[in-house]
A and B are shown apart, each in its own frame.
Chain A
Amino acid sequence: MKKRYWRCFVCNDVHYGIAPPELCPTCKVLHAYVEITAAEARKILGGGADVDLAPADFRQAIERFAAGNEFMVNPDAERVETLLQGIFENEKNHGLKYCPCRLRTKDWDEDLRIICPCNFTIHETYKGVPDGECWCGLFVRRK
């Protein structure tokens, strides 16, 4: 099913998905989402505060993301540094934080799957592998 855009009529949170959230995660109001156009979504999101995530901030963001999961950021600091360089180079040159160890196909939906962090938990390098890791090695299964 095709994903669409939804706006919370109370707090203007924007959701991109096949259905609106039942509960707004920000203002906690039930049944608050109304469908909007992609152009409206872009205007709402583009008009908000400009949040700039430097590599160090992104590093903290993925640490917090991993903290609630069965994986962690790779303890190999040099590898992580190299990958963060690539991720930010790709964002600068190609628009999004694409994985440095894969390539865009130029199909928009397909390429959304290689934005870091990607859903590597379904990949053969991680799923069911005791010492599994994502393809690039940024995330590794927690021991």
Chain B
Amino acid sequence: MSKLIMFHGRECPHCRRMMPLIEKLEGETAVRFDKREIWHDEKNADLMRSYKPVITAKCGGQLRVPTFINTETNDVICGEVEYDKLKAWALKE
């Protein structure tokens, strides 16, 4: 499993907009995201809930999507982000 997880919702417009950027990033670099849809897969939802303290601290006190988490460092960003910011975050040690 990749250390980077993207939690997303099938009917979330922000998530849909981020998907091409994720694909671009994966095409340009060795970065890989473990993409987990959270409204139609309860296992994925439970996985996101397991990171609740870490995610809510960075996401307005809520579990929001899209959320990107580095499971090794617990580094989190949420919402739509520009490509360069996402890339820098993903490549950060």
A residues in contact (CB < 8 Å) with B: 79, 82-83, 85-87, 89-90, 93-94, 98, 100-106, 114, 123-125, 135-137
Count of chain A to chain B residue pairs whose CB atoms are closer than 8 Å in the complex: 66
Question: Complex formed: what's the CA distance from A123 to B60 in Å?
Answer: 8
Categorize the interface residue count of chain B.
Answer: 20 to 34
* Contact in complex: B52, A105 (CB < 8 Å): yes
* Contact in complex: A82, B16 (CB < 8 Å): yes
A115 CB, nearest partner CB in chain B, Å: 13
* Contact in complex: A102, B14 (CB < 8 Å): no
Residue of A83, A102, A137 near B64 (CB, 8 A) is A102
Question: Complex formed: what's the CA distance from A103 to B10 in Å?
Answer: 12
A103-B38, A103-B49, A105-B52 known; A86 and B63 CB under 8 Å?
A: no
Question: Complex formed: what's the CA distance from A123 to B59 in Å?
Answer: 11
CB neighbours (8 Å) of B39 from chain A are 86, 89-90, 93-94, 98, 100, 103
B10-37 CB contact bits vs A (8 Å, 1 = yes)?
A: 1111111000000000000000000000
Residue of B40, B60, B63 near A124 (CB, 8 A) is B60
Q: Which of A82, A103, A114, A124 has the most CB of B within 10 A?
A: A103
A93-B39, A103-B38, A103-B49 known; A83 and B63 CB under 8 Å?
A: no
CB neighbours (8 Å) of A86 from chain B are 9-12, 39
CB neighbours (8 Å) of B60 from chain A are 123-125, 135
Q: Specify the chain B residue showing the minimal Cβ separation from A79.
A: B13
A45 CB, nearest partner CB in chain B, Å: 26
Question: Complex formed: what's the CA distance from A125 to B49 in Å?
Answer: 22
A81 CB, nearest partner CB in chain B, Å: 10
